[in-house]
Amino acid sequence: MSDATLSAAPAGARPLRRIGLIAAALVLVAAVMLLVGARYGMLLAIGLGFGIALEGLRFGFAGPWRAMILRREPSGLLAQLLSIALVAMAAMPLLASHPGELSGAQAPVGLAMIGGAFVFGAAMQVVLGCGSGTLVNAGSGNPVSLLALPFFAIGSFAGAYHLIWWTSLGSLPVLTFTGLPGLAATLGLLAAVALVVLRLAAPGAVRLNRRHAVAAAVIAALAIANLVVAGQPWGVVYGLGLWAAKGYVALGGDLAGSAFWTAPGSMDRVQASLLTDYTSLTDIGLIAGAFGVAAWRRGGFSAGLPGYPARAWIATVLAGFLLGYSSRLAFGCNVGAFFSGISTGSLHGWAWFAAAFAGAHLGIRLRPLAGLEART
Amino acid sequence: MTRAVPACLALGLLGVIVALDLAAAPPNPYRAPAAFALGSGTASAGGFCGALPD
């Protein structure tokens, strides 16, 4: 596929391209189902769904936080809270009734966890891409996200490499909301945050637009499907770190110095096929699904690339690395900690939200200093 | 240059990573778990960013 063919295909070629995109997705999913296993194929399909929904409905995490902080536009943030609530209503009863088969995104609140979430919130505003957003943006042709992505993976690997040391600095036991009382507490807290957001909203700003509401429902349905198929919630950064770990080992690197990567479960996953790792499969689907939507759209790839000064690219590399490193310390990104943590009852999801939202204020100020406000 | 270039690069690099990994660690479909974790009777064994190593 050349630049020209993707950017300016004649109108007659568009249906053919769309049939090709659908066929490619079906063939990919079928191939993984047959050659790797049905569960893995379904997770690739779920990942494709995430990518299609996030890119197709122009929904995400970093952008809505920026809109709320800068312009007091609440719609995207309210949609995130709605989506988390929808997932919680299914996930928390399922976790309570099937504790041996399903696990939540439950992690301890700690010093490094809170610091990591703050740094992640700042870094995701610098590059305007969170865990899922960086993958989706790279797949749809954003050059900043494409550059950030490999450093995100390296950062995730390095953060996991040092995770045990960071966690030893001090953390609480894992605290979770469970069962129906836990669900009621989670929904009550989500409603309270939504009320605060509505109170802070600019007069006349749309409260919850239709596109965001649809995205909230679709993302929730896919997240519940992820839990039912994989037995664990939707996550992003583990897979990226695993890709880097595999690359490190392939280049002759030794993981012996890391308590994380030498743990039996980690070693097994480094040696196993990437197509048997759940978060890798949904990560692949996020990139490919976003690519598919951009290729499907009329003029989806036709926009010219914005110009950035050199310091913007340096900032992108640093922010990409920090996104990966900090998200491991924080026990997840906007997906694994905020979205999946809160929706499966983990207190660390709430701590993550507060710390990352505070960090986002800093990141919004840093972005123009880094030269990342595009010169078109 | 348009957005097609980074998008194709992203997809291409992804393809290279998957291809290299398939060559190094071919999957075995006969060892695949049940299609759905829910109702499978076995615990999830996947890696997750919120979990400490097992």
- HEC sequence for A266-288: HHHHHHCCHHHCHHHHHHHHHHH
What pLDDT, on a 0 to 100 scale, did the predictor assign at position A10?
64
Number of domains observed in the structure of chain A: 1
Pair B1, A305: CB distance under 8 Å: yes
Read off φ and ψ for residue A375, nearest 5 degrees: -100, 110
What pLDDT, on a 0 to 100 scale, did the predictor assign at position A3?
46
Contact (CB<8Å) A7/B1: no
pLDDT in tens, A298-323: 888 888 898 999 999 999 999 999 99
Contacts within 8 Å (CB) and 24+ apart, A74-78: A74/A197, A74/A198, A74/A200, A74/A201, A74/A205, A74/A207, A74/A208, A75/A205, A75/A206, A75/A207, A75/A208, A75/A209, A75/A212, A76/A212, A77/A197, A78/A194, A78/A197, A78/A198, A78/A207, A78/A208, A78/A212
Residue (of A90, A41, A31) closest to A282 by Cα position: A41
What tokens appear for A152 in the block?
A: 């995100």
- A12 or A100, which is more confident: A100
**A60 pLDDT tier (thresholds 50, 70, 90):** very high
Q: Which residue from B1, B45, B48 is facing A238, i.e. has the nearest CB?
A: B48
Distance from CA of B23 to the nearest CA of A (A): 9
pLDDT in tens, A9-25: 566 678 899 999 999 99
Residue (of B29, B24, B48) closest to A242 by Cα position: B48
Contact (CB<8Å) B27/A3: no
What pLDDT, on a 0 to 100 scale, did the predictor assign at position A49?
98
The pLDDT of residue A26 is above 70? yes
Instruction: Judge whether A24 lies within some domain.
Output: no
Average pLDDT estimate for A56-80:
97
List chain B residues with CB under 8 Å of A1: 4, 8
The pLDDT of residue A1 is above 50? no
Please name the residue of chain A whose CA is at the shortest distance from the CA of residue B44: A231
What pLDDT, on a 0 to 100 scale, did the predictor assign at position A299?
84
Arithmetic mean of pLDDT over chain A: 94
Question: Running DSSP on this structure, what letter comes out for residue B40?
Answer: S
Average pLDDT estimate for A168-194:
96
What pLDDT, on a 0 to 100 scale, did the predictor assign at position A199?
97
What pLDDT, on a 0 to 100 scale, did the predictor assign at position B52?
80
What pLDDT, on a 0 to 100 scale, did the predictor assign at position A221?
98
Distance from CA of B8 to the nearest CA of A (A): 8
What pLDDT, on a 0 to 100 scale, did the predictor assign at position A9?
58
- Residue A239 contacts B where some CB pair is shorter than 8 Å: yes
> Which region among A10-14, A153-157, A223-227, A293-297 has the lowest average model confidence (pLDDT)?
A10-14
Contact (CB<8Å) B3/A239: no
Question: Which residues 269-298 of A are in CB contact (within 8 Å) with B?
Answer: 269, 271-279, 284, 287-288, 291, 294-295
Determine the structural domain holding residue A261 and report its residue range. Answer: 60-133+141-279+308-369
What pLDDT, on a 0 to 100 scale, did the predictor assign at position A21?
96
**A375 pLDDT tier (thresholds 50, 70, 90):** low
Instruction: Judge whether A19 lies within some domain.
Output: no
Q: Which residue from A2, A273, A336 is facing B50, i.e. has the nearest CB?
A: A336
Contact (CB<8Å) A228/B38: yes
Instruction: Judge whether A91 lies within some domain.
Output: yes
Report which secondary-structure segment, H or E, holds B15.
helix B4-24
In terms of Cβ atoms closer than 10 Å to its own Cβ (0-12, 13-18, 19+), residue A12 is exposed
Report which secondary-structure segment, H or E, holds B18.
helix B4-24
Average pLDDT estimate for A41-46:
98
The pLDDT of residue A376 is above 60? no
What pLDDT, on a 0 to 100 scale, did the predictor assign at position A373?
86
Average pLDDT estimate for A131-143:
96
What tokens appear for A354 in the block?
A: 């507060």
Distance from CA of A263 to the nearest CA of B (A): 6
Instruction: Judge whether A38 lies within some domain.
Output: no
Angle between helices A210-230 and A38-56 (to 10 degrees): 170
Q: Mutation target for B interface from A297, A305, A313, A348: give the one with most B CBs within 10 A.
A: A305
Instruction: Judge whether A375 lies within some domain.
Output: no
Please name the residue of chain B whose CA is at the shortest distance from the CA of residue A156: B49
Count Cα atoms within 13 angstroms, Cβ side, for A287.
25
Instruction: Judge whether A52 lies within some domain.
Output: no
Residue owning tokens 């299914």: A90
Instruction: Name the 3-class secondary structure at B42.
Output: coil
Instruction: Judge whether A186 lies within some domain.
Output: yes
What pLDDT, on a 0 to 100 scale, did the predictor assign at position B50?
85
pLDDT in tens, A338-365: 999 999 999 999 999 999 999 999 999 9
Average pLDDT estimate for A175-202:
97
Instruction: Judge whether A294 lies within some domain.
Output: no
Question: Which residues 334-363 of A are in CB contact (within 8 Å) with B?
Answer: 336-337, 340-341, 346, 348
What pLDDT, on a 0 to 100 scale, did the predictor assign at position A4?
43
What pLDDT, on a 0 to 100 scale, did the predictor assign at position A7?
52
Contact (CB<8Å) A263/B53: yes
The pLDDT of residue A200 is above 90? yes
Q: Mutation target for B interface from A6, A258, A298, A325: give the one with most B CBs within 10 A.
A: A6
What pLDDT, on a 0 to 100 scale, did the predictor assign at position B44?
83
Contact (CB<8Å) B50/A328: no
pLDDT in tens, B19-51: 999 999 999 999 999 999 999 999 888 888 888
Contact (CB<8Å) B4/A301: yes
Distance from CA of B16 to the nearest CA of A (A): 12
Q: Which residue from A231, A235, A305 is facing B37, i.e. has the nearest CB?
A: A231
**A374 pLDDT tier (thresholds 50, 70, 90):** low
Q: Which residue from A3, A37, A94 is facing B32, i.e. has the nearest CB?
A: A37
Q: Which residues contact residue A324 at a Cβ distance below 8 angstroms, ignoring those fewer than 6 apart? A: A151, A152, A153, A154, A155, A156, A157, A158, A159, A237, A240, A241
Pair A130, A64: CB distance under 8 Å: no
